[in-house]
Amino acid sequence: MSEITIAIDAMGGDNGCEPIIDGLIQALDEAKFKAILVGNQDEILSYLPQYYLDAIEIVHCEDVISMSDAATDALKRKESSIFQAVELVRDGKANGVVSAGHSGATMTLATLRIGRLPHVNKPPLATLMPTNAGSKSLLLDVGAVTDCKPRNLYEFAVMGKAYAQEVMGISRPRIGLLSNGEEDSKGNDLTKETFPLLKDITGFVGNVEGRDIFNGSVDVIVTDGFTGNIVLKTSEGVASAIIDLMRQNIKKSIPAKIGALLMKRKVFTNLKKQVDYAEYGGAPLLGVNGCAIISHGSSNAKAIKNAIFQAIKFANSDINKKIEEALEEHK
């Protein structure tokens, strides 16, 4: 493939095809790549403007894995859009896949059908978090591997570092182990056993705390998928509670309402942009022998567009080669 080709699962998102097709169109307007849209052809054609038909290949399939289906069934549902989209990467017909469908199914399929890189035991899901320094930090795992062994966390650190270097463009990423205190002695059994392993990785800064995810003091934060998922949802919960409380307070006062209007464009719109996951794209599943970007089920067009850009950047990078080399060295 001379040009990057991205397979996009058109189905399975919370809001149907429309935001996914809109996002793809926006991406095609801004960047040069080849797109394969996988899903129900009739539905796709009802949303896709004629004009884009030449630029997009459609792979029709009948089945859709819905959010209530079990991830374990994904392997059997060979006619599902996500199975077919992943298969395009497996078969070398696409460089990366983007899906806003069932994330468990996507992770299972990407891991088992595309396959893992050598020496990767369990691929982690990584997500970008906003910081008050304007930079982004990478948190992993956020839900792929709920029960981890020290070796898993070691591999997450290696893969997170490679992503930071090759995709985020941070030449010397600082890597922290998420713990309940900064001192070396802090942690649970898992992190205490992991700590000495991470000392082998250049850039390891030791234990970091929950607040360090958001203050720009570290680039890559390593944790197990149970804790990482809770951290992710806690962050979303705090942000939306603060916004809710502010709204409630604004409603109660006329000066505050006027104040809010004056602050709208330069403060609230900016803030929304700074913390909105749609600006970040999706979550890459690292350590698979290809590229898989998992988007929020409720992704809007902008989130899909950015997830596609993320997939292109990933596919254009040397990340998988770097992961292989680093793990080969410390297998």
Q: Which residue, 45 or 275, is less far from its own copies as judged by CB?
A: 275
- Shortest approach of its own copies to residue 211 CB, angstroms? 3
* Contacting its own copies within 231-290 (CB under 8 A): 231-242, 244-246, 248-250, 252-253, 255-256, 258-264, 266-267, 270-271, 274-275
- Shortest approach of its own copies to residue 224 CB, angstroms? 8
Q: Are 226 and 186 in contact (CB under 8 A)?
A: no
- Contact range with its own copies by CB under 8 A, out of 18-26, 210-218, 292-300, 307-315: 210-218
- Shortest approach of its own copies to residue 218 CB, angstroms? 12
Select from 188, 223, 183, 217 the least CA-distant residue to 203. Answer: 217
* Coil, helix or strand at residue 8: strand
Is 52 a binder of its own copies (CB under 8 A)? no
Is 67 a binder of its own copies (CB under 8 A)? no
* Contacting its own copies within 174-193 (CB under 8 A): 178-181, 187-189, 191
d(CA 93, CA 95): 7
Q: Which residue, 21 or 222, is less far from its own copies as judged by CB?
A: 222
Tokens of 278: 């749609």
Tokens of 225: 């998928």
Cα 108 to Cα 11, 123, 192, distances in angstroms = 17, 10, 29
Is 298 a binder of its own copies (CB under 8 A)? no
Q: Which residue, 178 or 286, is less far from its own copies as judged by CB?
A: 178
Select from 136, 48, 109, 60 the least CA-distant residue to 289. Answer: 109
Interface characters, 105-134, with its own copies (x: CB under 8 A): -------------------------xxx--
Is 137 a binder of its own copies (CB under 8 A)? no
How many residues are recorded in the chain? 331
Is 209 a binder of its own copies (CB under 8 A)? yes
Select from 13, 36, 15, 29 the least CA-distant residue to 91. Answer: 36
Q: Are 19 and 42 in contact (CB under 8 A)?
A: no
Q: Are 12 and 82 in contact (CB under 8 A)?
A: yes
Q: Which residue, 62 or 147, is less far from its own copies as judged by CB?
A: 147
d(CA 268, CA 254): 18
d(CA 15, CA 3): 30
Residues that bind its own copies (CB under 8 A): 130-132, 143, 146-147, 178-181, 187-189, 191, 209-215, 223-227, 229-242, 244-246, 248-250, 252-253, 255-256, 258-264, 266-267, 270-271, 274-275
